[in-house]
Amino acid sequence: MANYLYSADVSEGVRKKIRIFVILVVLCFIILWTRVWFLQILKGEAFKGQSENNRVRMVSLPAYRGKILDRNGETLVSIRPSFNLYITPEDTQDLDNTLTYLSSQVTLEKDVLMKEIERAAPFQNILVKRDLPWKQIAFVEENNRLLPGVHLKVEPLRDYVHKDLAAHVLGYLGEVTRSGLEGKGKEDYSPGDLIGKKGMELLFEDQLRGQKGYKEVEVDVAGRELETLRMLPPQSGNNLTLTLDIRLQRLAESLMTGTEEEPKRGSVVLMKVQTGEVLAMVSQPSFDPNRFASGISRSDWRGLSLNKNHPLQNRAIDGQYPPGSTFKVVTALAGLEENIVTPETRIYCPGSFRLGRGFYRCWKRGGHGHVDLHDALVQSCDVYFYTVGHRLGIDTLAKYARKMGLGSLTGIFLTGEKPGLVPTSQWKLNARKEPWQPGETISVSIGQGFNLTTPIQQARLIGTVANGGMVLRPYLIQKVTDNQGRTLKENLPQILYRIDANKNYFEKIREGLLGVVNEPRGTGRRARLKNIQVAGKTGTAQVVRMKTYESEGEKGEIPYEFRDHAWFFAFAPYEEPEVAVAVIVEHGGHGGAAAAPIAKELFSEYFKHYPRPTVEQNVTSMAINQNVQNNIQE
């Protein structure tokens, strides 16, 4: 009986265990089938898409950006192949270790990169670094098995062929910002794309950039491409031809180059007087846009943006300086037109001009004696122009300055142009809450005081004197062409308006400017050429009042930052003017010594290369903008 009971107990225990086992098996099957239902039914489409993303991906193909050429077809900006390093975080086995291993050979900003990765979409290629050198390329290729998710792409990189040549005109590229991606018309841009930031690169972004292409590729588990399934090729951008002549641009920049310890600062603008075409535009010191094309580091950017010499500033259009004695051509025309003087009127210069109890000295302490308009321009007599300016008054003087294109934008197609300043009595009342003083007119009449002009304004001003009163719109863009050479857009010269003034007065002023360069007592003799008659005007723009240093002797004993700016503007040839130049050398001293020789070299180079068309041939190709002419301030 005992054995029977024991057997029954065992059987009951086994049956209980079997029931528990069956229940567990059933639960497992329920869990398993629930998971299968979740994966296959509820999330099936989503996981199918992820699987496709793991295996098949869409890759963008960058467009070849259009070239920028000089007027003779020489390449200024092109593209070259660049090995760029990318990472797809989802394809890495350990992202942090991968980046640490990479950084042992490749310079990268890990904190910046991690922020980009956090913001990126799934399976997005994140740019690590552009334009890897050969040593780093070899490292990535040799260790590709240890770097899953890391890969190289050969892509076009912007190449500024002549480095810093014409950098302020050409501009530079930079990565499109997050806010920029949200702007209108930026739908085709992606994080990491380069976009024009300054100069022509910015202004003609839509023409130069081209259209991206795309390809559908199959990849392995490490993200490496196995096969291209489909492809839409990119379309190259259009080409841009400028009015610049690289030969003249290169010479102008070399003439404005100082030393590393003391770089020469200033600007040169060379312009055709009958058309407004800019042949050279220099701003020194300069910078190399290639530093931006490959991705500028934060330290390099700080070095450029905080540099005391301001290499990123385009002084040609936004450098504002007192015009100095170059302004005397404005005072001369105003005096003649307002019948204050005639060309023959003689004014006595004893070496100073008295106004009330104040004395305003001429640059020549002993004075110039009796001088007419011609002598006053040739010798740059201050007292003559003090007298004329005082009789005119500030508001009449300002009216003629504005007529000659000062105090307003020239309209050149570049961002950042400044208007300069033509002061009036009302301006001072508004800006300073003070009435205008007669003594301030004395200073303005010789280009000092509140007067401010830019080099591009100065080039146009002397060009206006040369061509007899046509105020032109300076321009830098000659044409836009496609890859087959077809012209899509072409710029033509534009006369904004003509100054309503006696043509004989312009001729008398030009005669005086001819004497500045070619007569024995002229202040611009160092711009003289043997076979070409040059006419011009020197100017010295005062930085500070120099009483402290007047008795110290040589300029070299004056601290650099207190030295005057040196101006010279001129045109040539005198008989049939073709080309004008404006030169300013910051803290260069006297215009005749520092700036005039630069103009001479540029004129000499110009006439080696260019024929001499007649004035009539140029003028007949232009149309006057009547709307602007009707709006001349009277």
pLDDT at 230 > cutoff 70:
yes
- Grade residue 92 by pLDDT with cuts at 50, 70 and 90: confident
For the segment 217-244, the average pLDDT, to the nearest whole number, is 85
User: Given 267, 325, 380, 443, which residue is catalytic?
Assistant: 325
Residue 294 appears among annotated catalytic residues: no
CA distances 2 to 5, 6, 10, 503, Å, are 5, 6, 12, 143
User: 194 or 347, which is more confident?
Assistant: 347
- Residue-range domain boundaries for the chain: 57-242, 250-299+315-629
The string over 357-390, giving b where at least 16 C-beta atoms fall within 10 Å of a residue's C-beta and e elsewhere, is: eeebebbeeebbeebbbbbbbbbbbbbbbbbbbb
Kindly tell me if the per-residue pLDDT of 368 is higher than 90.
yes
H or E, element range at 167:
helix 167-170
Q: Of 229-238, 524-533, 541-550, give the lowest mean pLDDT range.
A: 541-550
Q: How far apart are CA 301 and CA 459, in angstroms?
A: 32
Reported confidence tier of residue 183, pLDDT bands at 50, 70, 90: low
pLDDT of residue 624: 40
Least confident of 92-96, 108-112, 305-309, 360-364: 108-112
- 471-522 residue pLDDT tens: 999 999 999 999 999 999 999 999 999 999 999 999 999 999 999 999 999 9
53-85 pLDDT tens trace: 567 877 788 899 999 999 999 999 999 999 999
Render pLDDT for 15-46 as a digit per residue (tens, 0 to 9): 777 777 778 777 877 887 776 666 666 655 55
The phi, psi pair for 480, rounded to 5°, reads -120, 130
Q: Residue 358's beta-bridge partner residues?
A: 355
pLDDT the model gives residue 44: 55
**Cβ atoms within 10 A of the Cβ of 609, count?**
10
Q: Confirm if 516 and 592 have CB atoms less than 8 A apart.
A: no
56-61 vs 213-219, strand pairing mode: antiparallel
Asked whether 546 and 558 are in contact (CB, 8 A), the reply is: yes
Extract the runs of DSSP E, i.e. beta strands, from 66-200: 68-69, 75-87, 126-129, 150-160, 173-175, 194-196
The angle subtended at Cα 146 by Cα 145 and Cα 150, nearest 5°, is 80
In this model, does residue 625 exceed pLDDT 60? no
pLDDT of 410 reads 98
Contact 526, 596 (CB under 8 A): yes
Is it the case that residue 309 has pLDDT exceeding 70?
yes
Q: Rg of the Cα trace of the chain? A: 36
Residue 551 · residue 557 · CB < 8 Å: no
CATH 3.90.1310.10 for domain 57-242 = yes
- Tell me the pLDDT of the chain averaged across its residues: 88
Kindly state the average pLDDT of the residues 267-281. 98
Assess whether pLDDT exceeds 60 at residue 190. Answer: yes
Q: Domain 250-299+315-629 falls in which CATH fold?
A: Beta-lactamase (3.40.710)
- Give the Å distances, CA to CA, from 305 to 171, 278, 301, 312: 15, 27, 6, 7
* pLDDT average, residue stretch 343-366: 94
Q: Mean pLDDT lowest for which of 142-151, 300-309, 518-527? A: 142-151
Q: Hey, do 57-242 and 250-299+315-629 end up sharing a CATH topology, with the first three levels equal? A: no
pLDDT, position 284: 96
> Would you call 582 helix, strand, or coil by DSSP?
strand
Q: What value does the mean pLDDT take over residues 335-347?
A: 98
Tell me the average pLDDT across 433-455: 97
113: confidence class by pLDDT, cuts 50, 70, 90: confident
| The pLDDT of residue 622 | 42
Gap between the Cα atoms of 97 and 147, Å rounded: 10
Give pTM, 2 decimals. Answer: 0.85
**Residue 623 pLDDT level (bands cut at 50, 70, 90):** very low
Does residue 48 carry a pLDDT above 70? no
Q: Three-class SS string for 302-358?
A: HHHHCCCCCCCCCHHHHCCECCHHHHHHHHHHHHHHCCCCCCCCCEEECCEEEECCE
pLDDT at 413 over 50: yes
User: Could you read off the pLDDT of 584-613 as tens digits, one per residue?
Assistant: 999 999 999 999 999 999 999 999 998 665
